Amino acid sequence: MSNLEVKIQKTEEAKNLEQSLNIKWELEQQFPYDAGFDLRACIPEAILVLPTGHTVIPTGILVEMSEPNWEVQIRARSGLAAKHGVTVLNGPGTIDYGYRKEIQVIIYNCDVYENFRIDPGDRIAQACFREIPQVSFSYVDKISEEINLESISADNTSLADEMKAKLLKKRGGLGSTGVQ
C-alpha cells in the first residue's frame, strides 16, 4: 500500500469558527489508529434537521490528494447514529481525486419524532481514506458456471465450520459463554 499525502485548505468560515469556538479545525482521529477522521459542521449558527429530513452541511475543508488512486469516503459517526438516529444520507459518500471544492455532508435525521440540532463546530461525520484498486475488464460472451464455495476449502470443510474451528481455537469456545 502506498503512502498518501493530503493537502488541506480551510475555508475562511472554518478559520473564523476555529478562533471563536477555540477548537482545532483539523481532520483528527479520536484515538490512534482509528480509521476515520472527524469532520465538523462549518456553519455560522445552529441548524435543526427535522424528523426524517435532511440537509447539506459544509465542513470548511478542501482536500488535495497526492495520488490519483485514492478516495475519501464520508461516513456517519456511529455515536450519532446510535444515540440520535442521524446518518450520512448517501453514506459512504465519495470524494474523488479530482474534487477540489469544499467537502459537504448530507445529514439525514432518521428519527420520526425529534428534531436534531447541529451546532457550529459539531463533529458530524468522518472521512476515511481508501486506496482504489486498478481494475481491468474483459468482455466475454459467457462467464464461468456458478461455483460451489464449499469445494474451495482444501479439506472440504464448509466455510462456516472453518470459521467455527478458528473461533474455538482462538477463544476456547463460542460467544461469551465459551460453549462449544
Whole-number Å distance between alpha carbons of 40 and 22: 13
5 and 66 in contact (C-beta within 8 Å)?
A: yes
pLDDT value for 154: 57
Asked if residue 140 belongs to a domain, the reply is no
pLDDT value for 177: 44
CATH of the domain at 43: 2.70.40.10
Domain ranges, residue 168: 149-180
Please report where in the chains the cell 474451495 appears, as a residue.
Answer: 152
pLDDT at 29 over 90: no
pLDDT at 18 over 80: yes
In terms of pLDDT, which residue wins out, 166 or 76?
A: 76
pLDDT at 150 over 60: yes
Confidence band for 30, pLDDT divided at 50, 70 and 90 = confident
Query: What is the domain count for the chain?
Result: 2
Domain identity same for 156 and 73: no
Asked if residue 136 belongs to a domain, the reply is no
Lowest mean pLDDT among 23-32, 96-105, 126-135, 171-180: 171-180
Question: Across residues 14-30, what is the average pLDDT?
Answer: 93
Asked if residue 47 belongs to a domain, the reply is yes
User: How many residues are given for the chain?
Assistant: 180
What are the CA-CA distances from residue 118 to residues 35, 81, 97, 102 (Å)? 23, 14, 29, 18
37-78: per-residue pLDDT in tens?
A: 999 999 999 999 999 999 999 999 999 999 999 999 999 999
Domain identity same for 109 and 164: no
In terms of pLDDT, which residue wins out, 57 or 174?
A: 57
Question: Across residues 24-36, what is the average pLDDT?
Answer: 89
Name, in order, each residue with C-beta under 8 angstroms of 72's C-beta and a sequence gap of 6 or more. Answer: 63, 65, 94, 95, 103, 127, 128, 129, 130
pTM confidence score: 0.75
Confidence band for 176, pLDDT divided at 50, 70 and 90 = very low
pLDDT at 159 over 70: no
Asked if residue 1 belongs to a domain, the reply is no
pLDDT value for 145: 85
pLDDT value for 168: 65
